[in-house]
């Protein structure tokens, strides 16, 4: 099968990456459509960066098939590189240039770059355009990274934990920037530890655990319908904790109040958000892994 013959921006089949005895990526299949924003979630060491770096052409895979914008990133040339924007996890080091100089320099490598001043404005660095990068704060340097990632007007943008170190206002401004790129048709693959970021930006999300994609789907359906059923918690007459999942929490609370004849202690009604669902998935996978280990022992 020639998987480069696809309309998808990214197609991954049976991807594996082995470091010594560790399968850091252990059989991933995934399609990302053109124009889609896909958020890749997972705890530290899950295999997100390894996967993304293979797609970027920075790492070689052990096995599997990968197509990115119709090419195999392991063999793609300069034309392909010009169509891809990359914001790596680690920040820019080149401190001697000003923000504007650095961007103007990189813009020359691309056939159809964005306007340097527009990009500086888009990442909110107008006031620092003539400042040396070495004099910027961590969050401001991260904005330079993002600016360098988009200066070439990429069709596909990889963002590896882009807002680490951003203050809350900067994150919101960054989200607006990403929404603008998305509106222009840019395909975006985002890895993040911020679940609200995935919920704000992602059309779909995938959760990687132990090198495997354990769930993938629209952000608001991740974990399945059951994962979103409200949870009611309270303490009974003897002080014992109770927890019930129900689609009709008001009805349950009314019956608990009637039974106790008073306000229940420790009453909580929780509608699980993406963060709760993600944590449930991570814990469930951890429990499965322990069961497997016990079965093997």
Give the footprint of ligand ATP on this chain (CB under 6 A): 19, 22, 24, 42, 44-50
CB closer to ligand ATP, 46 vs 103 = 46
Residue 163: name the closest of 133, 138, 135 by CA. Answer: 138
Cβ 99 to ligand ATP shortest distance, Å: 26
Cβ 77 to ligand ATP shortest distance, Å: 25
CB closer to ligand ATP, 66 vs 133 = 66
Residue 119: name the closest of 144, 86, 97, 93 by CA. Answer: 144
Cβ atoms of residues 202 and 39 within 8 Å: yes
CB closer to ligand ATP, 152 vs 211 = 211
Per-residue CA distances from 297 to 284, 293, 294 (Å): 20, 6, 5
Cβ 16 to ligand ATP shortest distance, Å: 12
Cβ 150 to ligand ATP shortest distance, Å: 22
Q: Which residues, in sequence order, are CB contacts of 214 under 8 Å at separation 6+?
A: 207, 208, 281, 285
Residue 154: name the closest of 82, 213, 258 by CA. Answer: 82
Cβ 47 to ligand ATP shortest distance, Å: 4
Cβ 89 to ligand ATP shortest distance, Å: 6
CB closer to ligand ATP, 44 vs 112 = 44
CB closer to ligand ATP, 61 vs 128 = 61
CB closer to ligand ATP, 50 vs 140 = 50
CB closer to ligand ATP, 19 vs 109 = 19
Cβ 216 to ligand ATP shortest distance, Å: 15
């Amino acid at each position: 099968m020639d998987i480069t013959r696809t309309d998808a921006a990214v197609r991954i089949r049976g991807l594996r990456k082995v470091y010594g005895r560790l399968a850091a990526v252990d059989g991933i299949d995934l399609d990302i459509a053109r124009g889609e924003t896909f958020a890749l979630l997972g705890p530290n060491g899950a295999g997100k960066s390894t996967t993304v770096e293979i797609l970027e052409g920075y790492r070689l895979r052990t096995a599997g098939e990968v197509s990115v914008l119709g090419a195999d990133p392991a063999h793609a040339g300069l034309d392909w590189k010009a169509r891809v924007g990359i914001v790596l996890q680690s920040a820019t080091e080149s401190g001697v240039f000003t923000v504007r100089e650095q961007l103007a320099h990189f813009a020359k490598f691309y056939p159809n770059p964005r306007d340097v001043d527009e990009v500086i404005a888009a990442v909110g660095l107008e006031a620092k355009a003539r400042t040396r990068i070495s004099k910027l704060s961590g969050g401001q340097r991260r904005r330079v990274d993002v600016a360098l990632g988009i200066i070439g007007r990429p069709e596909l943008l990889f963002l590896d934990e882009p807002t680490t170190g951003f203050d809350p206002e900067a994150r919101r401004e960054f989200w607006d920037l990403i929404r603008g790129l998305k509106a222009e048709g840019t395909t975006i693959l985002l890895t993040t530890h911020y679940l609200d970021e995935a919920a704000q930006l992602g059309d779909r999300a995938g959760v990687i655990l132990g090198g495997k994609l354990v769930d993938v789907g629209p952000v608001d359906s991740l974990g399945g319908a059951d994962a979103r059923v409200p949870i009611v918690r309270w303490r009974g007459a003897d002080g014992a904790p109770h927890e019930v999942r129900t689609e009709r929490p008001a009805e349950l609370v009314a019956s608990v109040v009637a039974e106790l004849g008073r306000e229940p202690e420790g009453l909580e009604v929780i509608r699980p958000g993406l963060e709760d669902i993600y944590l449930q998935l991570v814990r469930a996978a951890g429990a499965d892994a322990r069961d497997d280990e016990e079965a093997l022992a």
